[in-house]
A and B are shown apart, each in its own frame.
Chain A
Amino acid sequence: MAFLSTHGLTAQYGQFKALFGVDLHVNPGECVAIIGANGAGKTTLMRSITGVLRNAPEMIRLGDTPIGALPADQILKRGIAMVPEGRKLFPSLSVEENLLIGGQVRKGSGRWSLDEIYGLFPILKERRHSPGTALSGGQQQMVAIGRALMSNPELLLCDEISLGLAPVVIRDIYAALPAIRATGAAVIVVEQDITRALSVADRVYCMMEGRVTLTAPAKEVTREAIHAAYFGAAA
């Protein structure tokens, strides 16, 4: 059975409808990439799954259990952690405190602890007493990933983790992914960088204008198919 699934998920901001019936699932330990242009609804999908946006009680399930009505703090307690778009470190907290707060409510049982995060991203140990927001963009992204891992999630959502970073920095960040997957956690990677997404994912979903336009195993999907799903069939 899928670890997490959405069934005809819709979402809206006031009058503005952002998702039109999204069906998606993630199996335990699987890495799924969600690609799509700006405004395709990727971030809205993340916000719905994490409970930041709540208007779909029955449409999101964890195993068999509907979780769409739960607030964000309850979603985390059920093992779904998020690396939010824009990293969103707490400016009043040091690097180490940012990491600690990730595991403050749910520690989970798993590999990740402060020491393990420092092992994964050694630079963070050196900077651990700096304010989180004093770090470079790439280092901040490492903190954000580490912070999410501190709860030892069974599903890790990564929203646009390469956005605004230099290619060499993106490579370093993605280099941590195998270690994360080695613990058995499922991962959803939301990306605009299609090549990067295809290289790490088992399966890929392509979204356009609030709908899923393509679902395929990452190894089998062709550039043409993605092109059509990404920009619309006419393109």
Chain B
Amino acid sequence: MIWLDVLVQGILLGGLYALFAAGLSLVFGIMRLVNLAHGDLIVFAAFAILLITATLGLNPFLAALLAAPLMFAVGWALQRFVLNRVLGKDILPPLLVTFGLSVALQNGMLEVFSADSQRLSVGALESASINLGIVTVGTLPLLTFASAVAAIFLLNRIFYTTALGRAFRAVSDDPTTASLMGLNPKSVFAIATGLAMVIVTLAALYLGMRANFDPSIGPARLLYAFQAVIIGGLGSLWGTLAGGAIIGVAQTFGAQINPEWQILAGHIAFLVVLLIRPRGLFPRAVD
């Protein structure tokens, strides 16, 4: 019975990783840009939520609601003023700029917020659980997973049924022709990164409520997000959820055997998938 429990915990943990990954996947899908500072931006958003809860005395959920538009602006400005200038055929400049941003963000947060571990406190919710008959699951992990499903559902709706999503896909296909349709690809990119930062805020909310965070943990979140994206198959958001679940399950199983193996087990699951399915589990046909 313990293994069923471990399996369920792992899948729910995967919801958090899918939230980490969704923004990364969105940005890569639209502009083929890999943001190496993605993990640090998640931590940054967590600190933003923390700061709002502390100064306004708000509940983290409400604070995240306030932080989301701020993070949208951060993402929009980052794309508009920095990343758009280095996007091009050569993949090196955007990678190096975002790597520089990662180092700068980490150390900036270290100066401002110190290396102390922080947590978004939600009182009783932290330890609440629901009995599902065969297993008992934490309310918060369940909520995380449900939020991931909702976020991915919404993102897919935006992507495939709205005018904005149409613009995303058109610009991704062919920026020059898209500009002949009156779309400004750089503005569309800026909106996409802004949107990705809204999802980052959601990811940060659950990251901060479920575990301690400090300025140094960003890169590891980037790696989990990246693994979920690759396992799922580039361009498939539902695949990303499956990818997150696989990493999550591998981690909880690893931890069950030996607590030191938790992270390692996740990485190894990723390598195994990469070995047998290089294009991921659900690759998009057109790429």
Residues on A close to B: CB < 8 A? 50-52, 71-73, 76-77, 81-82, 84, 88, 90-93, 97, 100-102, 104-106, 147, 151
Instruction: For the complex, give the distance between the alpha carbons of A71 and B286 in Å.
Output: 29
Instruction: Pick from A72, A76, A92, A106: contact of B172, CB below 8 A.
Output: A92
At the interface, is chain A mostly helix, strand, loop or mixed? loop
Instruction: For the complex, give the distance between the alpha carbons of A50 and B178 in Å.
Output: 12
Instruction: Pick from A73, A82, A90, A147: contact of B173, CB below 8 A.
Output: A90
Known A-B contacts A92-B169, A100-B166, A104-B163; the reply to A52 vs B183 at CB < 8 A is: no
20 contacts between A and B (CB under 8 A): A50-B180, A52-B180, A72-B176, A72-B180, A77-B182, A81-B180, A82-B180, A90-B170, A91-B173, A92-B170, A93-B173, A100-B163, A101-B166, A101-B167, A101-B170, A101-B183, A102-B181, A104-B166, A104-B181, A105-B182
| B interface, size bucket | 10 to 19
Asked whether, in the complex, the Cβ of A105 is within 8 Å of the Cβ of B183, the reply is yes
Q: Which residues of B contact A106 (CB under 8 A)?
A: 182
Measured between C-beta atoms, what is the minimum distance from A96 to chain B in Å? 10
Q: Which residues of B contact A81 (CB under 8 A)?
A: 180
At the interface, is chain B mostly helix, strand, loop or mixed? helix
| Chain A CB within 8 A of B174 CB | yes
Most chain B Cβ neighbours within 10 Å, of A52, A91, A101, A106: A101
Instruction: Pick from A88, A97, A105: contact of B177, CB below 8 A.
Output: A88
Measured between C-beta atoms, what is the minimum distance from A99 to chain B in Å? 11
Asked whether, in the complex, the Cβ of A52 is within 8 Å of the Cβ of B176, the reply is yes
Q: Which residues of chain B in 163-193 are interfacial with respect to chain A, using CB atoms and an 8 Å cutoff?
A: 163, 166-167, 169-170, 172-174, 176-184
Measured between C-beta atoms, what is the minimum distance from B160 to chain A in Å? 9
